[in-house]
Amino acid sequence: MNKQFIFLGLLLVGSQLTHAQEVDDVSTRMNKLESQWANYVEKNFANKSTSNSLLSKELQKQRRALTDFVEDTPYFLQPTDIRQVRSADADYLNNGTMPGYSTPVNGNGILVTIFDGGRVYENHPAFNNLPSRITNKEASTEDYSAHSTGVSGFIGSKSITVTFNNVNYNTKGVASNTLINSYMFYNTVLPGTSNMVDVFSKILTANPNISNHSYGNTTGWSYRAADATNAGEGYYYIGSYNPTTDTYLDLSGAYYSNDRRYDELVYNNKNMIIVKSAGNSAGDGPSGSALPAFYQTSGSGINGWTQFPSNTTLAPNNCRNTTGTDCIGFGSLAKNIIVVGATNNLATTDNRYNSSANVFISSYSSVGPRDDGGIKPDIAAVGTSVAHPSTAEDTTGSVSYGFGSGTSYSAPVVSGVIALWQEMYQSLFGGQTLNAASAKTLLVHSAKEAGNPGPDATYGWGFANAKDGADILLKKQNASIIFNNETLNNAVPKVYLVTAGSQPIKATMSWVDPQYISSANTYTTLHNRRTSVLVNDLDLRIVDLTTGETFMPYKLNINAPSAPAITGDNTVDNVEQVYIPTPVAGRQYQVIVSNKGTLKNASGLATPQDYSIIVSGQTLSLATQEASINKNKMLVTPTITEDLVSILNAGDNATVEIYDMSGKKILTLKANNSEVVSLKNVPSGTYLIHITNVKGEKLTQKVIKK
């Protein structure tokens, strides 16, 4: 009888899972979770009183947020939590004061989809500057959410001044003309359907270009208020604790099921740009607190939890270990998504970035790296002490405002910045769109320095900056920078030739990697696993053509993750960056993209790998060079042709190289004095023919192939 009461809601949920699902393996996944959940509840709650309606309500709430099990431990999704506009330099785009681009950019026509804890209050005045900006995709019986409404505000609220503690704040979002679709991350039945689906199925259904995900899993220590499902207020160790050996094992930093699912979604649709919060668990734990601490003992204790004895040496608070790292939960460690940490408001009078000394990580912001040494979070943005639109959490909704902190509030800033870039990109490049790889490459390449030089496990690649990213788009338009989407074939390197000026040379590359699949599903096999989760390992190098010196990409040292980044062969990240702070002006450098092993798809079949690359700092690249030393009066004619061009006065054994307008070499040959070159097999377009004779004399000529 007791079981009947507790399992009533479960049976109702289970009845909705009997039909085949359209979305990947959602039916199998949901049914497996049902079985695991039923066993978990039976072990820990079967003997509870049938009069405890609060227990039933709490269990149903947990069931809707359930995302996975490891051994007997359930994991639940939960929310993780201008000023921000100015800190990200987004106002330059909003106001049309971006140098070289005077059209205001506010996300016009750009759709951002959020997955959050409830419906967005669509009637809030924060969103009434344009009609129908908010579309809720969940049933009207679901509650509105203050968190969802706030997250939408950071992306796209209009300018509204609100007052907290006698201080005025502006709720303006980064991209105030965006359209927003709203889903819940909870397991629900969508309108017009009959089957309960999880957040991954909803992402596949929505098929968003840009989406924000301000939720995650807590691993390690988690504060919990007293409720009917736990043992009372205190800190709970979400992991495995063995009292016999005094051993703690958690999934902080572990690439696991949800990471694999995000990577699979993006790999199957490379236009999905998924932005996710890093989590707010740094510093959480019983050390320094008078609250009790508990560990899981499924089937015994109070609701499956047992209090640690007073003489137990407890695990350190999250990210308060000897290295000050490692407290990002699985689901925020995927390779193909953008994970965002939170900083305090910038330490400047105008909230603008001046130097890395202005940027301070928020004390709660979860810190990486991934257990294989992969750089997480990817980026940081302001998320602390910020105002936002809010609402009552019921089915009616209301107009109110909130003031808070969290990585939930920094992630939508980055989503808004990408929406601005997307609008600008479409305008500049004939309706083309940034995809997952190009958006991440642009975000990383344009990031402002924060924390240690180069990337680190706290700020990722730095502090997000809308203006610098927009400047890269303008340089791409006028061909003064390399920013390309490319395809790498197995064992066929791509080479780009650039000439250094007075600025540092920086090359950044990223690619959408197939999901990493492992059968490991225990704490012992997952905890601190150092195996790389890369499937395709691309390599980025820059070679000095005068000295032969090879410059290597950044990487973290997993044995000293809080130390400054080093350079070397990066075998764990699907983002690589090579930086030369003081290149020799006028010297030529080769940027080389290659790969190890065999490039594969998600099925393990040999497949070319797409990637995105940006190279900046060159003042004279073959993409723009049209004049060189030419004492011998070398000549290329005609300059507009349907097939053949003649090379005249080159002398004997001259080297002829043909490049496309990105600086990519497509052909090399030798010429003797006068030579006829066929462009029959070259696609129509504009090319640069670069000639160097045995005397070192050079000519670069632009040729148009019709």
Per DSSP, the residues of 597-636 read S--B-TTS-B--EEEEEEEE-EEEETTT------TT--EE
In the structure encoding, which two tokens stand for residue 33, read together?
């979770």
pLDDT at 542: 96
Q: Of 124, 114, 202, whose CA–CA distance to 158 is shortest?
A: 124
| CATH number among 3.20.20.70, 3.40.50.11720, 1.10.3720.10, 2.60.40.3080, domain 635-705 | 2.60.40.3080
pLDDT at 665: 83
Q: How much of the chain, in percent, has pLDDT values that exceed 90?
A: 69
For the segment 199-206, the average pLDDT, to the nearest whole number, is 96
pLDDT at 556: 98
Q: Rounded to whole angstroms, how far apart are CA atoms 299 and 305?
A: 9
Q: Rounded to whole angstroms, how far apart are CA atoms 542 and 540?
A: 7
Q: How many C-beta atoms surround the C-beta of residue 641 within 10 A?
A: 17
Which residues make Cβ contacts (< 8 Å) with residue 478, sequence separation at least 6? none
Q: Of 412, 426, 420, 427, whose CA–CA distance to 107 is shortest?
A: 420
Q: Rounded to whole angstroms, how far apart are CA atoms 89 and 372?
A: 33
pLDDT at 351: 87
Which band of pLDDT confidence, cut at 50, 70 and 90, is reported for residue 349?
Answer: confident
For the segment 501-522, the average pLDDT, to the nearest whole number, is 93
pLDDT at 632: 55
| Distance from the first to the final alpha carbon of the chain | 82
Q: How many C-beta atoms surround the C-beta of residue 644 within 10 A?
A: 11
Q: Read off the DSSP letter of residue 366.
A: -
Which band of pLDDT confidence, cut at 50, 70 and 90, is reported for residue 33?
Answer: confident
Contact at 8 Å (CB) between 220 and 284? yes
Of 54-68, 297-311, 407-421, 677-691, which has the strongest mean pLDDT? 407-421
For the segment 211-219, the average pLDDT, to the nearest whole number, is 95
pLDDT at 18: 27
Lateral strand order in the sheet of 482-488: 482-488, 609-616, 505-510, 575-580
Residue type, 552: M
pLDDT digits (tens, 9 = 90+) for 287-331: 999 999 999 998 888 999 999 999 999 999 999 999 999 999 999
DSSP result, 135-187: EE-S-TTSPB-HHHHHHHHHHH----EEEETTEEEE---SSTT-EEEEEESS-
pLDDT at 72: 78
Contact at 8 Å (CB) between 330 and 291? no
pLDDT at 45: 79
Residue type, 144: Y
Q: Rounded to whole angstroms, how far apart are CA atoms 114 and 408?
A: 11
Contact at 8 Å (CB) between 203 and 419? no
User: Burial of 269 by CB count in 10 Å (0-12 exposed, 13-18 middle, 19+ buried)?
Assistant: middle
**DSSP collapsed to 3 states, 633-695:** CCEEECCEECCEEEEECCCCCEEEEEEECCCEEEEEEEECCCEEEECCCCCCEEEEEEEECCC
pLDDT at 566: 97
Domain ranges within the chain, ordered by starting residue: 482-621, 635-705
In the structure encoding, which two tokens stand for residue 651, read together?
């002398």
Q: Rounded to whole angstroms, how far apart are CA atoms 379 and 32?
A: 35
pLDDT digits (tens, 9 = 90+) for 646-657: 888 888 888 888
Which residues make Cβ contacts (< 8 Å) with residue 173, sequence separation at least 6? 82, 85, 126, 152, 153, 154, 155, 156, 157, 158, 412, 416
Contact at 8 Å (CB) between 327 and 371? no
Instruction: Give the angle subtended at the CA of 301 by the CAs of 295 and 306, to the nearest 5°.
Output: 25
Q: Of 142, 220, 152, 199, whose CA–CA distance to 180 is shortest?
A: 152
For residue 422, the SS3 value is helix
Report helix angle 2-15 to 26-45, nearest 10: 170
pLDDT digits (tens, 9 = 90+) for 167-196: 888 899 999 999 999 999 999 999 999 999
In the structure encoding, which two tokens stand for residue 187, read together?
């397991």
Report helix angle 53-65 to 2-15, nearest 10: 30
pLDDT at 626: 36
Q: Rounded to whole angstroms, how far apart are CA atoms 254 and 329?
A: 7
Query: What are the angstrom distances between the C-alpha of 101 and each of 42, 88, 427, 438?
Result: 63, 17, 11, 21
Q: Which of 52-66, 274-288, 419-433, 602-616 has the lowest mean pLDDT?
A: 52-66
pLDDT digits (tens, 9 = 90+) for 551-574: 999 999 999 999 999 999 999 999
The residue that leads in pLDDT, 353 or 663, is 353
Instruction: Give the angle subtended at the CA of 97 by the CAs of 93 and 103, to the nearest 5°.
Output: 65
For the segment 511-530, the average pLDDT, to the nearest whole number, is 91
What integer best gives the mean pLDDT of the chain? Answer: 89
Q: How many C-beta atoms surround the C-beta of residue 666 within 10 A?
A: 13
In the structure encoding, which two tokens stand for residue 191, read together?
């309108």
Which band of pLDDT confidence, cut at 50, 70 and 90, is reported for residue 25?
Answer: low
310 sits in which H/E element:
none
Q: Rounded to whole angstroms, how far apart are CA atoms 473 and 442?
A: 9
Which band of pLDDT confidence, cut at 50, 70 and 90, is reported for residue 596?
Answer: very high
Which band of pLDDT confidence, cut at 50, 70 and 90, is reported for residue 22?
Answer: very low
Backbone phi, psi, residue 632, to 5° = -90, 5
The residue that leads in pLDDT, 52 or 393, is 393
Which band of pLDDT confidence, cut at 50, 70 and 90, is reported for residue 50?
Answer: very low
Contact at 8 Å (CB) between 215 and 202? no
pLDDT at 671: 82
Q: How much of the chain, in percent, has pLDDT values that exceed 70?
A: 92
Lateral strand order in the sheet of 635-637: 635-637, 644-648, 675-678
CA atoms in the 13 A half-sphere facing the CB of 127:
28
Fold of 482-621: Jelly Rolls (2.60.120)
Q: Rounded to whole angstroms, how far apart are CA atoms 422 and 416?
A: 10
Q: Read off the DSSP letter of residue 627.
A: -
Contact at 8 Å (CB) between 195 and 21? yes
Backbone phi, psi, residue 681, to 5° = -95, 10
Residue type, 687: Y
